[in-house]
Structure 1
Amino acid sequence: MGVTIKDVAKEAGVSSSTVSRVISDSPMISERTKRKVRQIMDDMGFHINENARNLVRQSTNTIGIVMKSSASESLHDPFFPEVLRGISSWCHKQDFSISLTTGESEEAIFQDVVKMVRGKKVDGIIVSYSKQDDKVVPYLMECGIPFVVIGKPLDGMSEITYIDNDNVKAAREASEYLIERGHDKIGYIGMSLEFEMAKYRLQGFKEAVLLNQVDISDEYIKNPASPDLIRNAVNELMDLDMPPTGIVIIDDLSALNALTILREKDIKVPDDVSVISFNNTVIANFSNPKLTSIDTQIFQLGYESARCLIEEIKDPSLFKKSIIIPTNIVERESALSLTNKDLGHIPNTDVEKNVEV
């Protein structure tokens, strides 16, 4: 039979209730007594029964993570694994576990969330996206369970803790990066505008075009409803009478697909068209050519979301907050200055240009 609380109490010369309070880190027990009891616990090989402890505290020490789409699709996008790495890093420090939704459809993902909440399987939830007409966030607000959103909520911002980038400014900076390098025919490839990130990045692109008096018609803007339609977007842009000399693309994965399609069309990047994308994932550094990309500090988005959520779990009275993670441009090979084109100039790889947010 293993060492029990009574065994530790007897060895330490204290009551069993004192040992229990030491385990729960009660402020009623002095630091001197805590140190003594913990040392005896270590010496005797006493291990806390986490299941029993959590039942008493009505806690699971687990947080749920709601993926943007099916597990297979989310894990193929390098954005989500990096967010997960950030979440896991803080959870490990706080002795929290994580539980992922596994549904393959929007409705199945929602039902996963319902099971997590009703089954009391988690203490709180991180929603890894912000999407129009999504059922998850309204459900969590109704249930009263602690939760955090990665992305700016479309409704009820004052009632929700969220972590995000300034996507409008980041997209404006990305677009101006090309404009400053002589590109006055710029295309934009986004995604479905039901996601807040897509809506705000498109807004930033339009602001840059307007502020810099660049004449761009709507035919230069493409928002494919799914990744499968990126090929159509690239073809439509490059088949214009005056095709763009530069393209802003919503993320590295979409940009990688675009590079493949451009190569098939015998269009060279950056000689014929420059490309800048977002997120600065591993894809950006290993694509051919390497992608100039906006570093959205994905790890930090996950890390801060976990930190805020666990703080709220431990103290539900905390005010809701918003945290904006700064971005910066990482210059590589995919974007060329037209003024230097005849010189064959390509920016040095992995040069960071800070963007104030």
Structure 2
Amino acid sequence: MAVTIKDVAKKAGVSPSTVSRVLSDHPRISTETARKVKAVMEELGYHPNIMAKSLVSRTTNSICVLLPKPAEELFSNLFFMELIRGIVAQANRAGYDVLLSSGGSEKEELAAVSRLLNGRRVDGAILLYSRKDDPVVDFLYQHGYPFTLIGRSEEHPDILTVDTDNVQAAYDATKHLITMGHERIGFVSGPPNLVVSQDRLLGYRRAMADSELEVRPEWIVEGEFLQESGYRAMSFIMNLPNRPTALVVVDDMVSFGVLRGLHELKFKVPEDLCIVSFNNIPLSELSTPPISSIDIGIYHLGYTASQILIQSIQNEGTGARFAPARNVIPHRLIVRESSAFAVPRK
């Protein structure tokens, strides 16, 4: 038979209401009484009813992480797994549980977030990506729910965000190839509706413009953050009559597809094509050849997003500003064998 509050109260020699106040960390309960009651809870193996406690305190000590679609993008890309690892590590440290949610469409995502927050099943949400004109962001913003966006919002610059300076990161990646003597540099991008794709493309264009280098439309290929996108891009780019000598690729997983496509087409990296990518996931060092990549501090992105969301929840209603609206995690270029000096074409 389950241990109840009455059992704990009887054993501790206090009233059931005192036990309830200990569970809710009531300020009028002395440290000595709280310590005694908690010792009895541990002795009897009492576990509080979290749902009942949340009805009283109006908090759940839980946060929601909205996963991106399509689902295969999440589970095939180590970027998202490392991001979630950072979120969960900090949430657990703060005593919060993490609930994962997803939807097959924007409408389903909105319904899921609305159901969780309106039903008080979670205290706040983390969005793992930023899109233009995102209805989920609009809903959270308009209703005043605590949330953190990993990325940058063009429509709501005052919301809490954790991000990389993706424009500068792409600029640095492109400049690295330019300093290696490359003049014909292409770009393999992600979905155009994602802000990260737009920012990295902008950084690439700025670096090319600053070095007075031409950017041809056929050198820019859009796709998804999947290996298959990089693979398909190679059948197009490597058949161009005036193809690039180097590529900036939007994501390491896409780069793996690029390598596979080049291998099947009998091209070598870096001899025939040099590559610089983003995210520096562990596999980028283990690929053949190892990929030069921008390290954006993925774990730190997730950890910080979780930290500032929980701080926002705990300070809700106080009006206190505990963090800037935009929190930028530093990046750095890790140079490996996939980028080398340009070889003059015969």
Same fold (TM over 0.5): yes
Matched, 1:335 2:339: yes
Judged with a 3 Å threshold, the aligned counterparts in structure 2 of structure 1 residues 339 and 25 are, in CA distance, closer, same or farther, namely farther
Alpha-carbon contact 1:148-1:305 (below 8 Å) kept: yes
Alpha-carbon contact 1:22-1:29 (below 8 Å) kept: yes
Name the counterpart of 1:134. Answer: 134
Alpha-carbon contact 2:9-2:16 (below 8 Å) kept: yes
Matched, 1:209 2:208: yes
- Output the CA distance in 2 between the equivalents of 1:236 and 1:339: 22
Name the counterpart of 2:238. Answer: 238
What SS is found at the alignment partner of 1:157?
A: coil
Name the counterpart of 1:326. Answer: 330
Q: Write out aligned runs for 1:38-187 (5 A).
A: 38-158=38-158, 160-187=159-186
- Output the CA distance in 2 between the equivalents of 1:328 and 1:138: 32
- Output the CA distance in 1 between the equivalents of 2:222 and 2:70: 21
- Output the CA distance in 2 between the equivalents of 1:33 and 1:231: 65
**Per-residue deviation, 1:211:** 2.0
TM-score (norm: length of structure 1): 0.86
Alpha-carbon contact 1:276-1:292 (below 8 Å) kept: yes
Deviation sequence 1:302-338 (CA, Å, 0-9, x none): 1111111111122213436221111112222211133
Report the AA paired with residue 310 of structure 1.
I
**Per-residue deviation, 1:279:** 0.6
Q: What RMSD in Å do the two structures reach over aligned CA positions?
A: 2.4
Report the AA paired with residue 211 of structure 1.
D
Alpha-carbon contact 1:70-1:102 (below 8 Å) kept: no
**Percentage of pairs with the same residue:** 37
**Per-residue deviation, 1:194:** 1.1
**Per-residue deviation, 1:94:** 2.6
- Output the CA distance in 2 between the equivalents of 1:222 and 1:4: 62
Per mean C-alpha deviation after superposition, the further-off stretch among 187-196 and 63-72 is: 63-72
Report the AA paired with residue 297 of structure 2.
Q
What SS is found at the alignment partner of 2:269?
A: coil
TM-score (norm: length of structure 2): 0.89
- Output the CA distance in 1 between the equivalents of 2:261 and 2:343: 26
Alpha-carbon contact 2:171-2:204 (below 8 Å) kept: yes
- Output the CA distance in 2 between the equivalents of 1:27 and 1:181: 64
**Per-residue deviation, 1:43:** 3.2
How many residue pairs get aligned? The number is: 339
Deviation sequence 1:197-252 (CA, Å, 0-9, x none): 11111111112112223333333222236755544533333233332221100001
Alpha-carbon contact 1:270-1:333 (below 8 Å) kept: yes
Name the counterpart of 2:197. Answer: 198
Q: Write out aligned runs for 1:161-310 (5 A).
A: 161-224=160-223, 227=226, 229-310=229-310
Q: Is there any run of 5+ residues in structure 2 with no aligned partner, and where?
A: none
Judged with a 3 Å threshold, the aligned counterparts in structure 2 of structure 1 residues 232 and 11 are, in CA distance, closer, same or farther, namely closer
Report the AA paired with residue 84 of structure 2.
L
- Output the CA distance in 1 between the equivalents of 2:332 and 2:104: 34
Alpha-carbon contact 2:106-2:136 (below 8 Å) kept: no
**Per-residue deviation, 1:253:** 0.9
Deviation sequence 1:45-64 (CA, Å, 0-9, x none): 33322222122223332222
Alpha-carbon contact 2:68-2:102 (below 8 Å) kept: no
**Per-residue deviation, 1:297:** 1.3
- Output the CA distance in 2 between the equivalents of 1:38 and 1:244: 67
**Per-residue deviation, 1:13:** 4.6
Deviation sequence 1:66-99 (CA, Å, 0-9, x none): 1221333322222211111111112222332222
Alpha-carbon contact 1:71-1:101 (below 8 Å) kept: no
Q: Is there any run of 5+ residues in structure 1 with no aligned partner, and where?
A: 341-357
Report the AA paired with residue 278 of structure 1.
F
Report the AA paired with residue 333 of structure 2.
I
Name the counterpart of 1:347. Answer: none
**Per-residue deviation, 1:10:** 4.6
Report the AA paired with residue 31 of structure 2.
E
